[in-house]
Amino acid sequence: MPPETLADPFLSLRLKMVESQIAARGVKDLRVLNALAEVPRHEFVPEVYRIQAYEDHPLPIGQEQTISQPFIVALMIAALQISSADNVLEVGTGSGYQTAILAKLANHVYSVERHGELANSARLLLDRLGHRNVTVDTGDGSQGLLEHAPYDVVVVSAAAQQIPKALVDELKDGGRMVIPIGPAGVQQLQLIHKTRGRVNVQTLDNCRFVPLISG
């Protein structure tokens, strides 16, 4: 174990989070559990919320946005069955927490965030934590990111009214996407598989995300 891990005062809280909030609720994928055990979530929240970083709920990150509940992040990522060869498009970088987890599992993560300030701080933090396979752009991710398309995996961390066509178009054949769909407060987390140009949609769970804002 590297010395900085031994010195991490949040390590035991983090391991407890993985066991009691994630594994106990049915996420069994070891790669996902290990990634959650490694990423220092307390670094991704404002200083005043650090003490709550490993609790079972979302937290404010400024700009009226939130870092997602750890279980929802685990559920979304486990459903996507990400391999180390996959290129991922993430819409809604926010704090960069989920980006860091994706980066541990995938080949490269292209993340898009519409708030310039959030994008900048996530980029700096991900760099400081040593993630070299991540690119954070400022912009409207609901229109996708054509530059690096097609993607094996698309993860959307903000709720849309319907599945954006541009994101389906940028998904590879055999690709997977997770996206919350529905109005504020009552959304469903949907898992989409694209096979030979056709999409299959499955509902994973109910959820509550901030809205995906287009334009």
Nearer Cβ to ligand SAH, position 66 or 87? 66
Q: Which of 31, 8, 30, 14 is nearest to 129 (CA)?
A: 8
Q: Which of 139, 194, 190, 193 is nearest to 161 (CA)?
A: 190
Q: Which of 87, 200, 99, 206 is nearest to 157 (CA)?
A: 99
Nearer Cβ to ligand SAH, position 70 or 175? 70
Q: What number of other Cβ atoms are within 10 A of residue 28's Cβ? A: 9
- The minimum distance between CB 175 and ligand SAH, in angstroms, equals 19
Q: Which amino acid is at 208?
A: R
- The minimum distance between CB 25 and ligand SAH, in angstroms, equals 18
- Write down the residue that tokens 């290990």 correspond to: 34
Nearer Cβ to ligand SAH, position 176 or 195? 176
* Those residues with Cβ within 8 angstroms of residue 113's Cβ, 6 or more apart along the chain or in another chain: 92, 93, 94, 119, 122, 136, 137, 138, 139, 141
Q: How far is CA 172 from CA 14, 175, 215, in A?
A: 34, 5, 24
- Write down the residue that tokens 């900085």 correspond to: 4
Point out the residue whose Cβ comes nearest to ligand SAH: 94
- The minimum distance between CB 93 and ligand SAH, in angstroms, equals 6
Nearer Cβ to ligand SAH, position 51 or 195? 51
Catalytic option among 68, 111, 121, 157: 68
- The minimum distance between CB 153 and ligand SAH, in angstroms, equals 14
- Asked if 68 is an active-site residue, the reply is yes
Do residues 160 and 184 make contact, with C-beta atoms less than 8 angstroms apart? Answer: no
- The minimum distance between CB 198 and ligand SAH, in angstroms, equals 25
What is the contact surface with ligand SAH in residues (CB under 6 A)? 61, 65-68, 91-92, 94-95, 97-98, 112-115, 118, 140-142, 157-158, 210, 212-214
Nearer Cβ to ligand SAH, position 173 or 205? 205
Active-site residue list: 68
